[in-house]
Amino acid sequence: MASEYLVPEHALTYVISGEFGINKFGKKYTYGAGESVLFKRNELARFTKDPLGETPFSCVTIFFMQPFLQKYYTTNAPAQAFLKEEHESYLKMIPFCTDPLFESLFNSVLPYYKYSNPLPQELISMKLMEAMTILRTINKKGTDSILSDFAEPGKIDLGDFMEKNFTYNVNLERFGYLTGRSLATFKRDFQKTFNTTPQKWLLQKRLEQAHFLLTTNKKKPSEVYLEVGFENLSHFSASFKQMFGYNASSL
């Protein structure tokens, strides 16, 4: 069961086998074999990749980089001229049911993984174009709302964003980027709003959340540490003891 937090580029994931889970907006979405999801870039979420019974998890993902999309949308006009606010009001992720078009695309892409040499750029471009055509055939407005949005993250309320997202374990540079700031100004603004350094605040916040889950929800340390934003149990338990004076396992 792997866990990731952020996809930096737009991505189309096709589930071959097993179960793909996404925790976002406080809900859990799961997708099985044959289904696919289009993600908007720079969205924080928690992903799970689990086997289903005997079959192991397996999936293919196509990334749509900005230069390709810039070029694509200069020759192919979006479904409509989106305003900035409209982009934001649309979905950040679009699920697709099993579809013969996706099936053919990904079945043709899959054998490439056996090819040891680097793929010709032309071939990659062709497959990206194919993917674009299929996506827009099935849901033009939806895919364009995601893929034709070239706006960089704007300068948003730092305190609000951090309170909502402190359980995601991403580095400070990315937190800065996501709130529309450089690393330096992120830290300066952080100091103004919270009166501490990001690292200290994050550590305390995550440990408090963990303490809450351990006591009121009766969870075990091994179930909690990933959920609140730690990457390994060893550091979690050491930090926990240092902050509260007793071991996490003693609750």
Confirm if 143 and 131 have CB atoms less than 8 A apart.
no
For 105-134, give the DSSP string: HHHHHGGGGG--SPPPHHHHHHHHHHHHHH
The C-alpha atoms of residue 141 and residue 149 are separated, in whole angstroms, by 12
Closest distance to DNA from the beta carbon of 173 (Å): 6
127 vs 241, beta carbon nearer DNA:
241
66 vs 199, beta carbon nearer DNA:
199
Closest distance to DNA from the beta carbon of 163 (Å): 17
Closest distance to DNA from the beta carbon of 250 (Å): 6
The C-alpha atoms of residue 183 and residue 132 are separated, in whole angstroms, by 34
Closest distance to DNA from the beta carbon of 234 (Å): 3
Confirm if 30 and 5 have CB atoms less than 8 A apart.
no
243, with CB counted inside 10 A (0-12, 13-18, 19+), is middle
107 vs 250, beta carbon nearer DNA:
250
Closest distance to DNA from the beta carbon of 246 (Å): 8
Whole-angstrom CA distances from 194 to 19, 55, 161, 173 are 39, 47, 12, 18
140 vs 188, beta carbon nearer DNA:
188
42 vs 139, beta carbon nearer DNA:
42
Binding site for DNA (CB under 7 A): 169, 171-173, 181-182, 184-185, 187-188, 197-200, 202-203, 220-222, 230-235, 237-241, 247-250
24 vs 174, beta carbon nearer DNA:
174
The C-alpha atoms of residue 43 and residue 174 are separated, in whole angstroms, by 11
* Amino acid, res. 242: Q
Closest distance to DNA from the beta carbon of 198 (Å): 4
